[in-house]
Structure 1
Amino acid sequence: MEKKIGMLVNTQKKGALDMANRLVQWGKKKGIVFLFPPHEASILGVQATPDDVWKSTIDFAVVIGGDGTFLRASRYILNHSISLYGINLGHLGFLACGKPEEAEADLEQILREEYALQQHRILEGIIWREGRRKHTLYALNDLVLTKGAFARVITIEIRIDNRYFNMLPADGVIVSTPTGSTAYALSAGGPIVPPHVPCMVLAPICAHTLYARPVIVGENDVISLIPRGTHRDLMLTQDGQLGYEILPGDRIELSLSRDKVVNVVTLPQRTYFDLLQEKLKWGQGIERNENKE
């Protein structure tokens, strides 16, 4: 019986397309069929599987690209129990952690069921305008409220569980999941939080006060962001890929979703902390110096 695996590809990268074609040829020899949604199929010149059939047929999918491709894939499968395994052809690659040179061996290991699933919590954001729900958004990494192109400070009222917390003058504010703690929030001075720790990170962007610091917020808490003043050039970005206009007085409620997660395939020889050490090069300089002594 042929085994079927879904595949999602960054079609803008030649290396990702080459990797996809390589796996397709390998799969033919192994009796493994890769199923492609219409977009990927049209670029690769292979048979397409309609979106609804694709999502209802496969149990796990290979994501070829970088973390941006993985974020897009997480939105695509969000309401389905499809696990994702990423092969990194980008830069840091905290989400897509598989190595291209080990792709076939990794997939064989997964097919032997020698893997674990790591649940990544999803951030839910609701934009309220004049008392009505305007948008509901879901993000694997973060939702970010920022000012526009002009160098003006915005003032954001922050409430936690509907209790006043802070009035923040800043360029913006990041609310991230543990998954997103190694993305934009890290650049803004936030902590690194492992995916299995249930919480949110609230990180100011270029705050115009000496007392603003990143804050860890509990998994059952609700963060509200309310822009104050008359500044109209505001944007809420979803995983750095989609943007929504925000008006003064809008209320953005953010919390960890209670019913949506993304399951990420992990291999026992490549843990999250191994990945941190490799990507951030922790301890490597010390080891080299010790070897010289």
Structure 2
Amino acid sequence: MADPRIGMLVNTRKPGALAMARSLIEWGKASGVSFLFPPHEASVLGIQGVDDEEWRRAVSIAVVIGGDGTFLRAARYVLGASISLYGINLGHLGFLASGKAEEAEKDLEAILRGEYSLSSHRVLEGKIRRDGKNIHSLFALNDLVLAKGAMARVMHIEVSLGDKVLNTLPADGIIVSTPTGSTAYALSAGGPIVPPHIPCMIIVPICAHTLYTRPVLAGENDVITLTPKGNHRDLLLTQDGQLGYEILPGDSILISLNGEKAVSVITLPTRNYFDLLQEKLQWGRGIVTFEKE
């Protein structure tokens, strides 16, 4: 690849991520690879960057340095552009940012040789309806979560699939997750692990005040409607756990899998989804050992 240009997105609040970025810049100079930076990263690193629109037009592959939170922000930043993301994990679990810092240069060399595959991750589209009108639309790679604030009152949430009411839940909140987000908040709330290639949505109650509530899968063409009942005024809809929107009495949230937008994620042959599950969740380690007879 002649004079390849790769975009770079960095968690600028992490000294380790900035050090990794500077290290890759030096590696790129020696390897003939140019990294392109959007305004914020360029300013923090003290180098020349380009504006957001030019960055999105020029870049086809972007390296994301940080953790899964950084990857989620990067996914929203590139949504709608033809950009594939590769994450280098400097955070905790690293299901999205799956690359290892010590293997970054080797991984980039493999990517430049074309030795990778792409997986398409569907995103949720949420529409907040108020007084019969859509007042806001938002997209989430992991999940949309409707939850109460600091007060300990239980909320009641009517959950519908299409025009059919599924249940009215007394709970602390509810998670609607993509398969990508099934290993995030939904997992800690008791939801199933769903590989990202399975097209569905996952509905997971948070601390439901009933013994019979269980997670439910919805189809890729379903529309989930969440309607808080009563006059509870301390409600928040969060987008990938990073952005929040106030929900008022009488509002509804319509959630579906967007049919046009998706996040393209680079996967290396040596690090597939099921390898990550075994590594990150420690499956099969330290429980039972077998000796050959």
- Give the structure-2-normalised TM-score: 0.98
Aligned to 2:7: 6
Aligned to 2:266: 265
Identity %: 68
Aligned to 1:20: 21
Aligned to 1:221: 222
1:125 aligns with 2:126: yes
Q: Distance in 2 between matches of 1:206 and 1:10?
A: 32
| 1:46 Cα deviation from its structure 2 partner | 0.8
Aligned to 1:197: 198
| 1:280 Cα deviation from its structure 2 partner | 0.4
Q: Distance in 1 between matches of 2:49 and 2:130?
A: 40
User: What do residues 173-213 of structure 1 show as CA deviations (whole Å, max 9, x unaligned)?
Assistant: 00000000000000000000000000000000000011110
Alignment coverage as a number of residue pairs: 292
Aligned to 2:114: 113
Q: Distance in 2 between matches of 1:23 and 1:251?
A: 46
1:212 aligns with 2:213: yes
Aligned to 1:55: 56
Range with bigger deviation, 19-28 or 161-170: 161-170
Q: Distance in 1 between matches of 2:214 and 2:106?
A: 44
Q: Distance in 2 between matches of 1:215 and 1:236?
A: 20
User: What do residues 13-41 of structure 1 show as CA deviations (whole Å, max 9, x unaligned)?
Assistant: 00000000000000000110000100001
One-letter amino acid matched to 1:221 = D
Structure 1 residues without counterparts, runs of 5 or longer:
none
Aligned to 1:248: 249
Q: Distance in 1 between matches of 2:4 and 2:204?
A: 44
Q: Distance in 2 between matches of 1:26 and 1:230?
A: 58
One-letter amino acid matched to 2:216 = V
| 1:249 Cα deviation from its structure 2 partner | 1.4
One-letter amino acid matched to 1:59 = S
Aligned to 1:75: 76
| 1:290 Cα deviation from its structure 2 partner | 2.9
One-letter amino acid matched to 2:154 = V
One-letter amino acid matched to 2:290 = E
Aligned to 2:290: 290
| 1:286 Cα deviation from its structure 2 partner | 3.8
Aligned to 1:278: 279
Q: Distance in 2 between matches of 1:208 and 1:292?
A: 49
Q: Distance in 2 between matches of 1:7 and 1:291?
A: 47
Q: Distance in 2 between matches of 1:286 and 1:173?
A: 33
Q: Distance in 2 between matches of 1:242 and 1:108?
A: 35
For 1:80, what is the secondary structure of its paired residue? coil
| 1:145 Cα deviation from its structure 2 partner | 0.1
Q: Distance in 2 between matches of 1:194 and 1:162?
A: 28
Aligned to 2:138: 137
Q: Distance in 2 between matches of 1:94 and 1:150?
A: 32
Moved over 6 A (4+): none
| 1:292 Cα deviation from its structure 2 partner | 10
Q: Distance in 2 between matches of 1:224 and 1:52?
A: 34
For 1:87, what is the secondary structure of its paired residue? strand
User: What do residues 136-175 of structure 1 show as CA deviations (whole Å, max 9, x unaligned)?
Assistant: 0100000000001100000001110121110100000000
Q: Distance in 1 between matches of 2:116 and 2:291?
A: 34
For 2:76, what is the secondary structure of its paired residue? helix
State the Cα RMSD in Å.
Answer: 1.1
User: What do residues 258-285 of structure 1 show as CA deviations (whole Å, max 9, x unaligned)?
Assistant: 0000000000111100000000010111
Q: Distance in 1 between matches of 2:98 and 2:283?
A: 17
User: What do residues 186-242 of structure 1 show as CA deviations (whole Å, max 9, x unaligned)?
Assistant: 000000000000000000000001111001111110100000001100000000000
For 2:286, what is the secondary structure of its paired residue? helix
Q: Distance in 2 between matches of 1:256 and 1:131?
A: 21
Q: Distance in 1 between matches of 2:287 and 2:242?
A: 37
Output aligned runs, 1:118-197, within 5 Å: 118-197=119-198
Q: Distance in 2 between matches of 1:123 and 1:83?
A: 18
One-letter amino acid matched to 1:227 = P
